[in-house]
């Protein structure tokens, strides 16, 4: 099951510049890159998150 969760981020200018640069390196927009980045982080910590959610 997939859920859409609206997340609003307000990066400082240096963070925004880095996100823009890294997104461009992958041929993505900033929103797409940020989503990819969050998904990558979640997949690496899936066991920890499952444990937290269950308890």
Q: What is the pLDDT of residues 6-25, one digit of tens each?
A: 888 899 999 999 989 999 99
Q: What is the model's pLDDT at position 47? A: 63
Q: How is residue 12 annotated by DSSP?
A: -
* Residue 47, domain extent: 15-54
Where residue 40 falls among pLDDT bands split at 50, 70, 90?
A: confident
Tally of domains in the chain: 1
Residue 8 lies in a domain: no
Examine the pLDDT at 53 and tell me if it is beyond 70: no
Residue 25 lies in a domain: yes
Token digits of residue 7: 């997340």
Handedness of CA 18, 24, 30, 32 (dihedral sign): negative
Whole-structure pTM over 0.85, yes or no?
no
Residue 29 lies in a domain: yes
How many CA atoms, within 13 angstroms, populate the side-chain half-sphere of residue 43? 6
When pLDDT is averaged across residues 40-54 and rounded to a whole number, the result is 70
Examine the pLDDT at 35 and tell me if it is beyond 90: no
């Amino acid at each position: 099951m997939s859920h859409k969760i609206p997340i609003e981020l307000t990066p400082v200018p240096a963070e925004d510049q880095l996100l823009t640069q890294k997104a461009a390196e992958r041929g993505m927009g900033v929103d797409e890159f940020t989503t990819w980045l969050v998904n990558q982080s979640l997949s690496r910590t899936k066991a920890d998150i499952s444990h937290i959610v269950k308890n």
